Amino acid sequence: MAPVSSGGNGLLADAWARIAERMRTEVGDVEYRTWLQQIVLGPVEEDEVTLLLPTRFLRDWVRTQYGDRLNTLWNQEIPAIRRVELQVMRPGERPAAPIAAEPSESAPVPEPAAAPVSDRASDMRSDLAVPLDPRFTFDTFVVGKPNEFAYACARRVAEKPSSVGFNPLFLYGGVGLGKTHLMHAIGAELMRNGGISVAYMSAEKFMYRFIAAIRSQSTVEFKDHLRSVDVLMIDDLQFLIGKDNTQEEFFHTFNALVDAGRQIVVSADKSPSDLSGLEDRLRTRLGCGMVADIHATTFELRISILEAKATASGVHVPGKVLEFLAHKITSNVRELEGALNRLIAHANLFGRPITLESTQDVLHDILKAHDRRVTIEEIQRKVAEHWNIRLTDMSSARRARAVARPRQVAMYLAKQLTSRSLPEIGRKFGNRDHTTVMHAVSRVQELMERDGAFAEDVELLRRMLES
């Protein structure tokens, strides 16, 4: 990576040099030269640093592969920097060194720069020693119903690699549910115990390394090296669908390792039998060991994860806020974590406590993405759930307080959150009269003023339904 071009700020240039060096050790020389060397430090504005790349293709690749890491490293060097923006250079900004032609859109596989022959062997080694994310350990993995089986299998493999019945270990599940986390945890545990060589990489990296090896005529080293590890972990195997040559190579590596009694761990977004597009013989072998799926999170698991992460951060996050997040962001753990991190960063930056109100502000965009129009049915369902009454009681004639109060709240919320008229709302609540709805609305308002806990409950429901 070239240092800051002209008249640059020495501090930034130094920081950049350290980050570049760090990246080089982390990703290895081959990968560094192929993807990162051509980055040029661009302008810095407030909390954002711009890095320039010669082509759109490189920019996109660096963004998806190294974007997060660059963000983290910059933020560690200079805490004021919170974002790294990757841009394509304008012609004048291009460095003097020749730049490889941009591959055409129809040929998405780039041609990695060939390494000088003498460097090859050492490149290959450093290239495969992929650093594991130190945050992804068994200790930081929160176990609940949806993931306990996968967790137990991962633990088992970390304790006793290559046990009968656990090889290969095939982990599958939707995006952001902890597959990569578990794989890194296995790697970290094995390395901690020492004496075992572990290679971890995404299927995508596997493919690019394989291609790079072909280009630099070092496939023999590549194969030898892969086949010498004790544990090989390949993440996101679904990437190999349609990549026949790479699949073939992986299949041979896989067989060689299993036959030699080494452990394989693979993750994918689907079960082996559902990974159509993978060769049958590979699918069959993948399903031969232990297949463990990670299910979608439950509300309870989301709460446990949020609690664990909030505690680890040292910032107080009120229980109501955690509940709100666990209700609103149900898609995956990564998003949930992202939302919480943003809240915590915000609280740290401005030294203000986190409240439901500030949460809505700070997470405005995330919450909006989950936005839908609220219906009266939804309101009834959420309110009934909240107070643990039957949905049918929303329209029943029962007048017991335990039922009547939630029903009034639901009417109040229907008035607040929908554009329905009072008679329309009344009809949805067992054909009640519009004056009943009016009464419910003013009763709830009154109670909210008198009773703080009640007001908070209603507020929480409103926010949950609304944003």
Task: Say if residues 238 and 269 touch (Cβ distance below 8 Å).
Answer: yes
Contact characters 336-355, ligand ADP, x per CB under 6 A: -x------------------
Torsion on CA atoms 420, 426, 429, 430, rounded to nearest 10: -140
Q: How many residues of this chain bind Mg ion (CB under 5 A)?
A: 2
Please count the CA atoms within 13 angstroms of the CA of 398 that sit on its side-chain side: 16
| 8 is known to lie in a ligand binding site | no
Segment 232 to 261, residues that bind ligand ADP, using CB under 6 A: none
Assign 42 to helix, strand or coil: strand
Binding segment (CB under 6 A) for ligand ADP, from list 35-43, 107-115, 174-182, 364-372: 174-182
Q: Which does 428 bind (CB under 5 to 8 A by kind): Mg ion, ligand ADP, none?
A: none
Binding segment (CB under 6 A) for ligand ADP, from list 55-63, 185-193, 321-329, 331-339: 331-339
User: Which single residue is written with the structure tokens 């740290």?
Assistant: 348
Q: Which does 178 bind (CB under 5 to 8 A by kind): Mg ion, ligand ADP, none?
A: ligand ADP
CA dihedral (305, 311, 313, 319) positive or negative = positive
406 binds ligand ADP, rule: CB under 6 A:
no
Task: Say if residues 348 and 354 touch (Cβ distance below 8 Å).
Answer: no
Q: Which does 175 bind (CB under 5 to 8 A by kind): Mg ion, ligand ADP, none?
A: ligand ADP
Cα 261 from Cα 61, distance rounded (Å): 36
180 binds Mg ion, rule: CB under 5 A:
yes
427 binds ligand ADP, rule: CB under 6 A:
no
* Helix, strand and coil in the chain, % to nearest 5: 60, 10, 30
Cα 268 from Cα 179, distance rounded (Å): 8
Binding segment (CB under 6 A) for ligand ADP, from list 43-51, 178-186, 321-329, 382-390: 178-186
Assign 257 to helix, strand or coil: helix
**Sequential DSSP letters for 353-413:** ---HHHHHHHTHHHHHHT-----HHHHHHHHHHHHT--GGGGTS----HHHHHHHHHHHHH
Contact characters 221-240, Mg ion, x per CB under 5 A: --------------------
Q: Which lies closer to ligand ADP via its Cβ, residue 113 or residue 308? A: 308
Segment 69 to 88, residues that bind ligand ADP, using CB under 6 A: none
Q: Which lies closer to ligand ADP via its Cβ, residue 129 or residue 143? A: 143
| 320 is known to lie in a ligand binding site | no
Q: Which of 59, 179, 415, 462 binds ligand ADP (CB under 6 A)?
A: 179
| 297 is known to lie in a ligand binding site | no
Strand 48-53 relative to strand 40-45, pairing? antiparallel
Cα 348 from Cα 354, distance rounded (Å): 10
247 binds Mg ion, rule: CB under 5 A:
no
Task: Say if residues 12 and 41 touch (Cβ distance below 8 Å).
Answer: yes
Cα 20 from Cα 14, distance rounded (Å): 10
Q: Which does 141 bind (CB under 5 to 8 A by kind): ligand ADP, Mg ion, none?
A: ligand ADP
CB of 341 to ligand ADP, least distance (A): 9
147 binds ligand ADP, rule: CB under 6 A:
yes
Q: Which lies closer to ligand ADP via its Cβ, residue 178 or residue 426? A: 178
At 130, phi and psi to the nearest 5?
-75, 130
Q: How many residues of this chain bind ligand ADP (CB under 6 A)?
A: 17
Q: Which lies closer to ligand ADP via its Cβ, residue 41 or residue 142? A: 142
188 binds ligand ADP, rule: CB under 6 A:
no
- The residue number whose beta carbon is nearest to ligand ADP equals 178
- Burial-class residue 431 by CB neighbours within 10 Å (0-12, 13-18, 19+): exposed
Q: Which lies closer to ligand ADP via its Cβ, residue 310 or residue 333? A: 333
- The residue number whose beta carbon is nearest to Mg ion equals 180
| 382 is known to lie in a ligand binding site | no
Cα 408 from Cα 390, distance rounded (Å): 14
Q: Which does 391 bind (CB under 5 to 8 A by kind): ligand ADP, Mg ion, none?
A: none
202 binds ligand ADP, rule: CB under 6 A:
no
Binding segment (CB under 5 A) for Mg ion, from list 29-37, 77-85, 154-162, 171-179: 171-179
CA-angle at 273, arms to 272 and 279, nearest 5°: 75
Q: What is the DSSP letter of 278?
A: B
State the maximum Cα–Cα separation within the chain, in Å, rounded to a whole number.
Answer: 87
CB of 338 to ligand ADP, least distance (A): 9
185 binds ligand ADP, rule: CB under 6 A:
no
Task: Say if residues 116 and 58 touch (Cβ distance below 8 Å).
Answer: no
Q: What is the DSSP letter of 2?
A: B
Radius of gyration of the chain (CA): 27
Bridge partner residues of 292 (DSSP) = 171
Binding site for ligand ADP (CB under 6 A): 136, 140-142, 147, 173, 175-181, 305, 333-334, 337
Binding site for Mg ion (CB under 5 A): 179-180
Give the residue numbers of the binding site. 176, 178-180
Give the residue numbers of the binding site for ATP. 176, 178-180
